Chain A
């Protein structure tokens, strides 16, 4: 069974021409700077914020040729699911010791303030064979009239 080597949440994953991945800006907190005059954030609100969940699996010789499916699921603070769980299949090849997957999100839900849960698990032949400890992402609202320095405004 592949062994989890890395499970991380970041803003961007850059893969160079040799296939080597670099993770940019790991994070576990999101601050939403609320527009002045906004009374309530709708529960289905989404901020157009790109994010990436990166996983690296160390594969063993006995994993070669077998198909595995990795699932990623994002939950609201109240436990509701955001979007479909993303699933990706991979089949380790004999010449690679690691299998890496990068899952990108184009927007992040901000409809609830609190702790979001990013779950990740691995299935083989329809059975869950591994479940990672989740990544907890705290979303907090900040009502501001002026932006802090070095903050990029969403166009």
Chain B
């Protein structure tokens, strides 16, 4: 069974966050660190320090920002961009009607 770190959102804690267990991701020692600071404060401190993996090697393809977003902590993810816009590199011509054969009327879009 895995547990989620309430500070950094790491979802593979082998122990429940308590009893002085330490999160290998954000290094929070539960029962000690979170007795002094709230989880939100500890999260902000971890992010401010660069959101680096604490113990050993991180899991393959680990990304701290995705972990925080998945954990519902999107608000602490650094905003490197002011906005994101998407677009498509193709155009759809205005729909026109075409008559085919025996009265079949279809609309045609050209992409």
Q: Give me the interface of A with B, judged by CB distance under 8 Å.
A: 11, 25-36, 38, 41-42, 44-49, 81-84, 106-110, 138, 144, 147-148, 151-154
Contact = CB atoms under 8 A, between A and B. Distances in A.
B66 A46 contact: yes
B48 to A, nearest CB: 14
B61 A82 contact: yes
Secondary structure at the B interface, as helix, strand, loop or mixed, is mixed
A34 B80 contact: yes
Contacts of B99: none
B86 A25 contact: yes
Given A29-B87, A29-B89, A46-B69, 11 more contacts: A27-B87, A28-B88, A30-B86, A31-B85, A31-B87, A33-B83, A83-B66, A84-B60, A144-B82, A151-B83, A154-B79
A84 B81 contact: no
Given A44-B64, A48-B69, A35 B86 contact: no
Given A29-B89, A82-B61, A106 B84 contact: no
Nearest to A151: B83
21 contacts: A27-B87, A28-B89, A29-B86, A29-B87, A31-B86, A33-B82, A34-B81, A35-B80, A35-B82, A36-B82, A45-B80, A46-B66, A48-B69, A48-B77, A106-B66, A108-B84, A110-B80, A110-B84, A147-B82, A147-B83, A154-B79
